[in-house]
Amino acid sequence: DAGVIQSPRHEVTEMGQEVTLRCKPISGHNSLFWYRQTMMRGLELLIYFNNNVPIDDSGMPEDRFSAKMPNASFSTLKIQPSEPRDSAVYFCASSVRTVTYGYTFGSGTRLTVV
C-alpha cells in the first residue's frame, strides 16, 4: 500500500486566497483525521471522520476552515479566506479502527500564507 497520500507537499499562497488540501487514506481504513502542527500549539486535531461522516470538528479554528469526505478514498480541507496565522504543517491520518489499531500519517502539507 502507498500509505496515506497528501497533496500538495508545499503550498505558498497570498492572504485572502482559497487553499485546498487533499488526502487519500489507506484503502480499507474507515477513519480519517486532519491535524495541524505549529511551533506554538504542537500537533492538534482539527476534525475526524468515521465512515465518511464528520464526528468531531471541535478543533476547527473558525468558519474559514471546512472539511469534506465525499467518499472513502478522498478528503479535502479548505481554508477560505486564508490568513498568515494559518501557516502550518497540515497532516492527514487514517486508521482501520481508531481504538484498536494505530494511526498512519501522511507526509503533510506545509502551508505558507504571505
Partner 1 sequence: GIQVEQSPPDLILQEGANSTLRCNFSDSVNNLQWFHQNPWGQLINLFYIPSGTKQNGRLSATTVATERYSLLYISSSQTTDSGVYFCAVTSQGGSEKLVFGKGTKLTVNP
* Strand 19-24 versus strand 74-79 pairing type: antiparallel
Q: Which residue has the cell 479502527?
A: 97
Q: Considering only the stretches 14-22, 60-68, 75-83, 101-109, report the one whose residues sit in contact with partner 1 under the rule CB under 8 A.
A: 101-109
Closer to partner 1 at the Cβ: 3 or 16?
3
Out of 7, 13, 20, 50, name the contact with partner 1 by CB under 8 A: 50
Euclidean distance between CA atoms 35 and 17, whole angstroms: 21
Question: What is the C-alpha to C-alpha distance for residues 24 and 64, in angstroms, rounded to an integer?
Answer: 22
String marking each residue 76-95 x if it binds partner 1 according to CB under 8 A: -------------x-x-x--
> Rule CB under 8 A: is residue 30 a binding residue for partner 1?
no
What are the beta bridge partners of residue 109?
A: 90
- Identify residue 38 by its one-letter amino acid code: T
**Site for partner 1 (CB under 8 A): which residue of 31, 75, 82, 94?**
31
Nearer to partner 1, 79 or 92 (CB): 92
Among 29, 21, 33, which residue's Cα sits nearest to residue 73?
29
The SS3 call for residue 81 is coil
Name which of 39 and 70 has its Cβ closer to partner 1: 39
Residues that bind partner 1 in the complex, under the rule CB under 8 A = 31, 33, 42-45, 48, 50, 55-56, 59, 89, 91, 93, 98-105, 107-108, 110
